[in-house]
Chains A and B, each alone.
Chain A
Amino acid sequence: MEEFEYLIPKNLPEALALKARGGPGAVFVAGGTDVQVLRRAGRLHCQSLISLRRLPELKEIAQEGDTISLGAGATLSELLESALVRENLPILCDALEVMGCTQMRNLATLGGNVMSAVASGDTLPPLLCLEASCLLVSARDRRRVPITKMFTGPRATAARPEEILLALEVPRPAPRQCGAFIKLGRRAALDLAVVSLAAQITLDRQNRTIQEVRLAAGAVGPTPLRLQGAEEVLRGAAPEPEVLARAAAAAQEECSPWDDVRASRWYRREMIGVWLPRVVAKALARGGVEVRP
């Protein structure tokens, strides 16, 4: 058996070349807060790890026209320190703030959270609500996969093995949009979500109706999911408690939670019912509309 190698390419072409040489036995790693833990637990076997931590191409957080580009290699801390992210994407900041702990946020990357593709990944419901697109690059080409098409199953994505996720591209939210994310864990820090919910809402000019809305949930199905039934209830409706309650019932219908060590299927479904109105109210409050669910 060949000896294990830890490879640190200096730029993107070098990383792609190392992957071409290493084949299926070469696995990409960024912060390592997931990959290293899986390796140590014997759940991931590989010949080499290719580190993406030092690729300058993956680090940029920038606005180009109406798109905010979030480098896949930006750490959660770097994103939280970005004025661009703070001002435009409070829905994402809500999630970043409650992920892991300070030491983990200093290592873990946004791209890593996406590529790990677990249903409880905290940035995933916000990215679904923001209709982000995943910019994937290989030695041959570059392509964009909408985040709604990215998650194909637990720990499975639409990315090909030889592709590197370069950035998440997010359309810059219009001024009248407001968003929020909330997470229920067993404790406040260092925990995976039992249930997580995100909402991105566009109000009309008088703040009387919800013009457009996107809702997403984590940890209540095999992949993070958009709650289109609940969105349907809210779209065009007045932001009132009774409407929020109907949306919650629709969300409970369309999610498919499971039993595990963190919570039962029953509890997760109940919590979706309790927390959906709360996340919508939190988003609306940021838009200047007070609703008490």
Chain B
Amino acid sequence: MSQPRGIFRVLGRGYVGLVLFFLYAPILVMALMSFNASEFYAFPLSFTLDWYRRLWGNADIVASAWRSLWIAVATTAIATVLGTAAALALFRYEFRGKRLLQSLLFPPIAIPWLIIGTSMLIFFFWVGIGRGTPAVILGHVALALPYVIVVVAARLQTFDPQLEEAARSLGAGQWVVTRDVTLPWIASGVVAGALFAFAVSFDQFVVSYFLAQPGDATLPVVIYTAIRKGFTPEINAISTIIIAVSMAVMLAASRFFKFGGER
């Protein structure tokens, strides 16, 4: 790749700097303030872990954090298994209606979560599931599935179908072929898809807000409720933790899945 020169190089670097600034400045300010003793964001910053301590004492937040975590883990497990199976079916095998199913896969990503949340609420009441944790998990799985399928499918595109044929010619049945040949090849895609599913569930607000019962809300919903009552630096603290977790997950995902193709 060639390097841009002179003024373009300076402009290019400045532009990248600006993008990163707009993305990260608010987050950095928030993270800093979560360590600031002053409740009113006064400078100079005096370091404290008080807000984190208070956070730990807040039973509501701690309980909802654990709930969010296990809902995310459950969502990840279900969405990864279903999504991987769906990707294998959609991109490795031929069947009637395949094209239609493939094209129906992506629109849900573009539908606003508010509308998905509303429609899920109506639907779950209509079929008798109602609100509650099962509804939340079902909703999260539905949201996460397209992401898992897309990521696993991208990895499958590089899979040589002759590998499966070779395994079959050597006497391996369908299950052994999948376990010993196909899955090892797409493993990195499956892991990346799982991390996506985790992030989608753990960070989900709108759908959780509609589907969770008032008593057992997830962490983002509890934060939202707390902010409505009055903003405290505790919120900065828990937000900083969430951001740290989410970023760790996405950084891990990027190790397994190369965004924007192979480099």
A and B associate in one complex: no
